[in-house]
Amino acid sequence: MLWLPGVDLKPFSVAWQSKKQFGLAVIKVGPYTTELFKIKTGERLGFNGPYGNGYNLQGKKLLLIGGGSGLASVTFLAQAAREQGLAVDFVLAAKTADKIIYQSWLEKLGVKVYHRFQNQKYERAWQLIEDLAEQNNYDAIYACGPELLLEKIVDLALLKKIFCEISIERYMKCGIGICGSCAIDPLGICLCQAGPVVSAEFAKKITEFGKFERLASGEKHYFKK
Ligand SMILES: Cc1cc2nc3c(=O)[nH]c(=O)nc-3n(C[C@H](O)[C@H](O)[C@H](O)COP(=O)(O)OP(=O)(O)OC[C@H]3O[C@@H](n4cnc5c(N)ncnc54)[C@H](O)[C@@H]3O)c2cc1C
Ligand code: FES
């Protein structure tokens, strides 16, 4: 949870880490991120956490998929996988070329990167993911990105019986299970603690998965299919 004094506290994923540093990858989308982009070296920025759970690395050949603001959580996983010598194919789904970040860094780590620019329904990325899953024997699939794409990935993994974990974004205010803003239907559990990473099997138990999320007020926001 990244704290910009006087502005807000918002959830972000660690995108990479070294012995002394860690990095975040932030997309400017609204008031908080606009203020965050103005921050200069020497100004104050704080964080709590990390909270929730992370991915469980399994197998030797992995398919990682990152889209939009979900990219950071899987780039960090790619780094961890390469440090363990695992083979990683990475699908980077972005809306435009300027949103393709970390490609050369991933390639330097030895990751095979594929990217697809998106139309509204993420059909191009989906086609690529289906083709890759058909042509390769992946031991595991990990993904974070637009929920309608995550829903398809979960169904594909369950059908092909491939171990799969996804990271689901919900509105998070505290990050520690107090405010309830990230509670999911029908389980009522808080995704900031029980997630954001869940297994494909667990995702199927969330009835709102792929249907709606809740806004800051708690009001439902339905995904456009
Ligand atoms: C677990 C998790 C990890 C995330 N990791 C990253 C990341 O690595 N990089 C990145 O760019 N973004 C990430 N996000 C999304 C990021 O938190 C929002 O983009 C940011 O809070 C937007 O704030 P804003 O005021 O600029 O925009 P707003 O105009 O307030 O919102 C723009 C969009 O961001 C969503 N959002 C706003 N506030 C929150 C919140 N408190 N919790 C969840 N979603 C919110 C809104 O629902 C809306 O879709 C992550 C979200 C979650 C839940
Ligand atoms: S963000 Fe407050 S309970 Fe999850």
Q: What is the mean pLDDT of residues 40-51?
A: 93
Q: How far is the CA of 180 from the centre of ligand 2 (A)?
A: 5
Reported pTM: 0.94
Whether 118 has a pLDDT exceeding 80, the answer reads no
Residue 149, domain member (yes or no)? yes
CA distance 218 to 18: 37
Residue 128, Cβ neighbours under 10 Å: how many? 16
Confidence at residue 120, expressed as pLDDT on a 0 to 100 scale: 61
Q: How far is the CA of 191 from the centre of ligand 2 (A)?
A: 7
30 and 74 in a single domain? The answer is no
pLDDT tens-digit readout, 187-219: 889 999 999 999 999 999 999 999 999 999 999
By most ligand atoms within 8 Å of CB, the mutation choice from 9, 176, 184 for ligand 2 is 176
3-state secondary structure of 150: helix
Whether 104 has a pLDDT exceeding 90, the answer reads no
User: 68 falls in which pLDDT band (50, 70, 90)?
Assistant: confident
Strand arrangement of the beta sheet that strand 2-4 belongs to: 8-10, 2-4, 46-47
If one counts the domains in the chain, the total is: 2
140 and 79 in a single domain? The answer is yes
74 and 126 in a single domain? The answer is yes
Whether 145 has a pLDDT exceeding 80, the answer reads yes
User: 119 falls in which pLDDT band (50, 70, 90)?
Assistant: low
3-state secondary structure of 86: coil
17 and 66 in a single domain? The answer is no
Domain that residue 29 falls in: 2-47
Whether 35 has a pLDDT exceeding 90, the answer reads yes
Q: List all residues 6 or more positions away from 72 whose beta carbon is below 8 Å from its beta carbon.
A: 12, 13, 14, 15, 24, 25, 66
Q: How far is the CA of 67 from the centre of ligand 2 (A)?
A: 23
37-67 burial, b at 16+ Cβ within 10 Å, e below that, comes to eeeeeeeeeeeeeeebebbeeeeeebbbbbb
User: 46 falls in which pLDDT band (50, 70, 90)?
Assistant: very high
Residue 9, domain member (yes or no)? yes
Q: How far is the CA of 69 from the centre of ligand 1 (A)?
A: 8
CA-closest candidate to residue 202, choices 156, 165, 149: 165
Q: Ligand 1: does its nearest atom lie under 6 Å from the Cβ of 27? A: yes
161 and 109 in a single domain? The answer is yes
CA distance 90 to 81: 12
Confidence at residue 100, expressed as pLDDT on a 0 to 100 scale: 72
Residue 52, domain member (yes or no)? no
CA distance 161 to 177: 32
